[in-house]
Amino acid sequence: MIGIIAGSGYYELPGLLQRKDEIYENEYGTATVSTGTWNNTPLAFVARHGGDHSIAPDAINYRCNIRALADLKVESIFAVNVVGSILRDKGPGSVLIVDDLLEFTHGRASTFYDKSGEVTHTDMTDIYDPELRSVLLRSAELEGQDVAPSATYVCTNGPRFETPAEIRMYEKMGAHVVGMTGYPEVALAREAGIKYASVAVVSNFAAGITTDPVAEEEIWRILESTKEPIFRLLKRAVQLTSTDEC
């Protein structure tokens, strides 16, 4: 089975057939997962913020979501992360495939290995799966979409946006895009042995990159315009991945 986890603006998967919306319970809590078939492929879909955008980035139960997908035998996850761009040539509406991570969150339950006597150090060299990233790039090529092949994602805690000084610091550290939901989701997937790739969708320039303030109304307008091409990209990626898995 393939999983899709999506964020702000992406609350349901159009064309998901035999759809079932169910609550899955595990030791970390309860997760709402929609299952069905998409392009003839068994699929599980999670809306990180809930169907009504009611869950803040730092309040998402990342462990519960990933455990629920693991229990459903999901082997590959395609994530959609809405981001601010630190790159001046990648403005709103741009799409990038994430290949590395910087993490600046706090207070988040970020590992499955937190029980006494259960110290485990998981390798994060290829935290974003190279095969799935290649699938996304091939999908973009087939769909005629302009997608940047590489980006370092810095995850902040939110829900506030970052300050210009923070963005200047992240830029000096090598970050290209900034978001609030990429971690610990990707690391937990890695711990669970699930392949994971992220499509970063730029909704705005990060604070200080331009003189304009970060306007939430404009962000929602941009995200609405990205839905159709992003879902086409994901559908193609699911098709290619399911063929490879067969």
Burial of 118 per CB tally in 10 Å (0-12, 13-18, 19+): exposed
d(CA 146, CA 73): 32
**Angle of helix 130-143 versus helix 216-245 axis, rounded to 10:** 110
CATH of domain 2-245: 3.40.50.1580
d(CA 183, CA 201): 16
Global model pTM greater than 0.75: yes
> Residue 214, Cβ neighbours under 10 Å: how many?
17
Residue ranges per structural domain of the chain: 2-245
Cα separation values, 204 from 13, 49, 85, 219, Å: 23, 19, 6, 6
**Residue carrying the six token digits 């669970």:** 192
> Residue 156, Cβ neighbours under 10 Å: how many?
25
d(CA 37, CA 46): 14
The conformation of residue 164, written as its DSSP 8-state character, comes to: H
Per-residue pLDDT of the chain (246 residues; tens, 9 = 90+): 999 999 877 888 889 999 999 999 999 999 999 999 998 999 999 999 887 777 999 999 999 999 999 999 999 999 999 999 999 999 999 999 999 999 999 999 999 998 888 788 999 999 999 999 999 999 999 999 999 999 999 999 999 999 999 999 999 999 999 999 999 999 999 999 999 999 999 999 999 999 888 777 788 888 888 999 999 999 999 999 987 653
Is the backbone peptide bond immediately before 164 cis, with ω within 30 degrees of 0? no
Cα separation values, 202 from 10, 18, 74, 172, Å: 13, 31, 27, 20
